[in-house]
Structure 1
Amino acid sequence: MSEPTILHATFTAQPGTGDRVAALLRDFAEVVRAEEGNIVFDATRLVDDPDRFFVYEVYRDEAAFQAHIAAPAGVPFNAALQELIVEPSSQLTFLRRL
């Protein structure tokens, strides 16, 4: 059995855009959760810094993650997100279960 692909993404909304980022992320989360290979897509906002976002994602395997990356919904989401965040893109950290 193959390993799941697990990662978290972090990013910071530009001043005044936090609620727009949250709405964009909420809509995208619904789409991702419907993908066949997605197991978890938890999008959260930091309590102490509501302009900071943390997304925890789990995909069945690497193929499911690659299908997620190639899915058509990701292109407009990432383009819109890039216009609203401080970083050039989401900062991804890949994880491995113990």
Structure 2
Amino acid sequence: MSDEQVVVSAEFTARPGLADEVDTLAQDYAASVRAEPGNTTFEVYRRTEDPDRFLVFEIYRDLEAFEEHLRAEAGTAFNARLTPRIVEPRTVLSFLTPAGRS
């Protein structure tokens, strides 16, 4: 198990006319994730220049906390509701490392 934080961004695009519905789903899910003991940050953003595009910024205490997040039933339910409402086949995840660190 790694003691380093896990930092992730997730991006997805709402289907035409569904951005507000996707926003509501994401905000509800955010409240659930923020209650997870290993989550330190879960913020949902919409791109100013294209409000159908979303970016979620997530930080977990460590790898174990992130893996627990992935196993949580709330995530499975959220993704089942989100996937038919977005353009991509699934959210696009990027794992991030603070600049200046290897």
Q: TM-score range by the shorter chain?
A: over 0.9
Match of 2:16 in 1: 15
Task: Kindly provide the CA deviation profile for residues 18-63 of structure 1, in whole angstroms up to 9, marking residues without a partner as x.
Answer: 0000000000000000000000001011111000000000000000
Aligned-pair RMSD on alpha carbons? 0.9
The SS at the match of 1:28 is: helix
Residues 45-84 of structure 1 aligned to structure 2 (within 5 Å): 45-84=46-85
The SS at the match of 2:44 is: strand
Task: Give ranges in structure 1 of 5+ residues lacking alignment.
Answer: none
Asked whether 1:27 is paired with 2:23, we answer: no
Q: TM-score, normalised by structure 1?
A: 0.97
Task: Give ranges in structure 2 of 5+ residues lacking alignment.
Answer: none
Give the letter for the 1:49 counterpart.
D
Alpha-carbon distance in structure 1 between the residues aligned to 2:26 and 2:92: 15
Identity of aligned residues (%): 48
Question: Alpha-carbon deviation of 1:2?
Answer: 1.0
Alpha-carbon distance in structure 1 between the residues aligned to 2:50 and 2:29: 22
Q: TM-score, normalised by structure 2?
A: 0.93
Number of residues paired by the alignment? 98
